[in-house]
């Protein structure tokens, strides 16, 4: 027997066995990693929203009450102090966080008189000048409309600024559309129509003020619902008053991906009331489809956004393919999509005003009675 040949064969066989073993170990490790990731995703899906750790945000400064500024726009929180707000939120405990609005976390707080409010502690890096902030709060705090979240007051203590809002029991529209999995269809079609109508009326009010206000960040998480599911527009962190002599324009870019109008991507970054109209149209589509606006949709092998998808299907009279199956045949469905597609017109001049949108809704709702 050729021992030299046998040695070579044994060496080759050993190498092959070692490589096979390494490949098997690698496969097992990757498989285990994939299972762990899948399990982690499933677990996170059923957990509450992962809000930022409040400990990572600046704590309240040690400033005496005599050095603080406080303003109330509602008798229910007369003379509210920063010290009481700290007590009411248990030192701004993470257990009481109910939202993550623009520029700060939002807490549920029960005041000493038993009134429950929402408290937003503004981030230090998102603050404007004291005089500008106070002037803006004086204006926004006096807004009163059934579809606008009321600002009840504010406190300033050194660099710390806290806003106090009315508390809405049902939370955000975003939660009811995307996170409430207890019911297959938690919001009926008629409820969604009423919510959209309420948001339209709130925006029409803001745009119709002597100095119109552009919200600039209309989205489902900025629509809060009360115990009767009435819509209230919230989070004026990006809102700006505008000079009517300047054609309803605010030059600062703001908004959320998926809701921002196409003119932003074309270099026209000046926000107008028609910016809010576009975002509202996207919100309408989100409510009807339960799809987040930044989720791509594949059409003819190409990815498009929610708004582009709606334009394609509405043009082919196939809008019903977008909605939840249980809503097909509902009263006002076609008119609803017509309104939404008018709002998301690419050319700003072709979009209706919010007053016109309100009238269109009233026509649809009057035939549903």
Which segments are annotated as binding site? Answer: 121
Residues tagged in the binding site annotation for ATP: 121
Phi, psi of 364 (to 5 degrees): -65, -45
List the catalytic residues. Answer: 217
């Amino acid at each position: 027997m050729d021992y030299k040949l046998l040695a070579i064969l044994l060496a080759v066989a050993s190498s092959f066995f070692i490589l096979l073993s390494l490949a098997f170990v690698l496969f097992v490790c990757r498989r285990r990693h994939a299972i762990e990731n899948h399990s982690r995703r499933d677990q996170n899906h059923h957990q509450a929203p992962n809000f930022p750790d409040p400990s990572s945000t600046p704590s309240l400064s040690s400033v005496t009450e005599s050095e603080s500024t406080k303003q109330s726009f509602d008798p229910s929180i007369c003379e509210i102090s920063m010290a009481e707000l700290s007590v009411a939120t248990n030192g701004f405990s993470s257990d009481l966080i109910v939202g993550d609005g623009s520029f700060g976390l939002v807490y549920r707080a029960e005041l000493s008189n038993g009134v429950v409010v929402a408290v937003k502690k503004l981030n230090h890096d998102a603050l404007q000048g004291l005089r500008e902030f106070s002037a803006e709060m004086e204006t926004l705090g006096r807004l009163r409309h059934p579809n606008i979240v009321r600002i009840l007051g504010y406190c300033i203590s050194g660099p710390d600024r806290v806003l106090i809002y009315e508390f809405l029991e049902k939370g955000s529209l975003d939660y009811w559309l995307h996170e409430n999995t207890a019911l297959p269809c938690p919001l009926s079609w008629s409820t969604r129509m009423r919510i959209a109508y309420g948001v339209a009326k709130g925006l029409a009010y803001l745009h119709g003020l002597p100095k119109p206000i552009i919200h600039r960040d209309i989205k489902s998480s900025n629509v809060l619902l009360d115990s009767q599911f009435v819509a209230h527009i919230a989070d004026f962190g990006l809102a700006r008053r505008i000079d009517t002599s300047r054609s309803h324009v605010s030059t600062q870019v703001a908004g959320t991906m998926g809701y921002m109008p196409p003119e932003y991507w074309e270099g026209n970054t000046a926000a107008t009331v028609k910016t809010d109209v576009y975002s509202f149209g996207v919100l309408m589509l989100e409510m009807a489809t339960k799809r987040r606006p930044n989720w791509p949709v594949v059409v003819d092998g190409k990815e498009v956004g929610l708004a582009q998808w709606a334009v394609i299907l509405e043009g082919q009279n196939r809008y019903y393919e977008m909605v939840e199956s249980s809503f097909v045949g509902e009263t006002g469905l076609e008119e609803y999509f017509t309104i939404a597609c008018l709002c998301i017109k690419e050319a700003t001049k072709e979009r209706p005003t919010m007053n016109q949108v309100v009238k269109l809704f009233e026509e649809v709702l009057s035939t549903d009675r």
